[in-house]
Amino acid sequence: MSLDEHLRTVRLVDHHVHGWFTEPGDRASFEQALNEGSTGPVTSGFDLPLGMAVRRWCAPLLGLEPHASADAYWEARAATPYDELVATFLDAAGVAHWIVDTGLTPGLVTDPEPRSEVLRLELALEQVLGETDVPGAFRERLAAADVVATKTIAAYRCGLDIDWSRPGDADVAAAARASGSRVVDPVLVAFGVHEAAERGLPIQVHTGLGDRDLDLRSADPLHLLPLIRAVDVPILLLHCYPYHRNAGYLAQAFEHVSFDVGLAVNHLGDRSVQLVGEAMELAPFGKQLYSSDAYGLPELHYLGAHLWRRAMAAALADWPEDDAARVADMIAAGNARRIYGL
Which residues contribute to the site for a copy of itself (CB under 8 A)?
A: 35-38, 40-44, 47-49, 52, 67, 209, 211-212, 214-217, 220, 222-223, 225, 241-242, 245-246, 249-250, 252-255, 267-268, 270-271, 274-275, 277-278, 280-286, 318-320, 323, 327, 330
- Measured in whole angstroms, the distance separating CA 137 from the mean position of its chain's CA atoms is 28
CB of 87 to a copy of itself, least distance (A): 29
For a copy of itself, the closer of residues 241 and 340 by Cβ is 241
CB of 253 to a copy of itself, least distance (A): 3
For a copy of itself, the closer of residues 84 and 163 by Cβ is 163
Inter-residue contact 58 to 299 (CB < 8 Å): yes
CB of 316 to a copy of itself, least distance (A): 10
CB of 108 to a copy of itself, least distance (A): 21
Helix axes 186-198, 169-178, angle to 10 degrees: 140
For a copy of itself, the closer of residues 41 and 81 by Cβ is 41
In total, the chain counts a number of residues equal to 342
For a copy of itself, the closer of residues 23 and 47 by Cβ is 47
For residue 255, count other CB atoms closer than 10 A to its CB. 12
Q: Residues near 331 by Cβ (< 8 Å), separated by ≥ 6? A: 285, 288, 289, 290, 312
Question: Which of 214, 257, 183 has the alpha carbon at shortest distance from 36?
Answer: 214
CB of 158 to a copy of itself, least distance (A): 15
Query: 24 preceded by cis ω (within 30°)?
Result: no
For a copy of itself, the closer of residues 103 and 277 by Cβ is 277
Residue 212 gets which letter from DSSP?
Answer: T
